[in-house]
Structure 1
Amino acid sequence: MTNEKCFEVHAELVVRPTGQDVDDIMVSALEGGICYWCDRVTVEGQYLGKYASEQISRGGTLKVHVTEPFDEQDTEWYELDIEKFIQGFRLWLENGGDCYGAVSGDGKVDCGEIDAGCADAIIQYALFGDLVFG
């Protein structure tokens, strides 16, 4: 056993997700990642792309409904826009969510390394500021 002194270093990483990266992460979220706690997603206003997954990267908003078994008045709706998404992505990174190495040192994102579970975490951080499901 050694008594070697350790030092802590905090480094800042600038990440530059593209619109396509956002769309790809949203596809993973909507097609499986968030389905266990979300029962509906609607586009706010007009579609800005062909699919709902393309809405927020183009400046639009999605409304996300949280499944609540006793919610008879349909009140648990949350809005997701690009600002919230970016905040969720940042929190996901800060909390060690990138366990597959999706973000490289040059700030590029490899969405092939962001699975449905990662996309779920990003959306939960975006909507709730924390992981509240799963």
Structure 2
Amino acid sequence: MTRNLNCNLLASAVCLGALFLSGCSTTKEEMLPTGDHTMLDLWNGADGEGGTSRQSAAARDTLRRPLTDDEHRKGTQDDRSYSRTQETEISQQFSRLPNPDMVMYLYPHLAGGNTPVPGYSTVFPFYSQTQYAMPGERTEAL
């Protein structure tokens, strides 16, 4: 009885697996037909029905519009911000990230058994290397 039940479960699992695998048997051309037009045809205004689309022509015209005065001015300002001048050489493009110091006081002690050493302070930076921020990265406190 249990052997028959195991065979039925196995057969149903095999059928279920075959059903799942048959769902993936579609080809790319069947799912996504290429159509008759190339990308250049679509850019030039050909739509899917063989005519020219007004929407694609309007979209192309908005992409090809001339720059406004504000956009042109902003573009030249952006170009100047990447140029090296005497003013920009003074300001640091890569600012240093904060590297706090740890101040440590050493109390008076004897070195080598009999040599007295007076107390003194020494400074250790937290990070061993100087780290720099990327251009435009915020370095001041929030």
Give me the TM-score of the superposition, normalised by structure 2.
0.19
Please say which structure displays the higher CA radius of gyration. 2
Larger relative contact order (C-alpha < 8 A, sep ≥ 6)? Answer: 1
TM-score (norm 1): 0.20
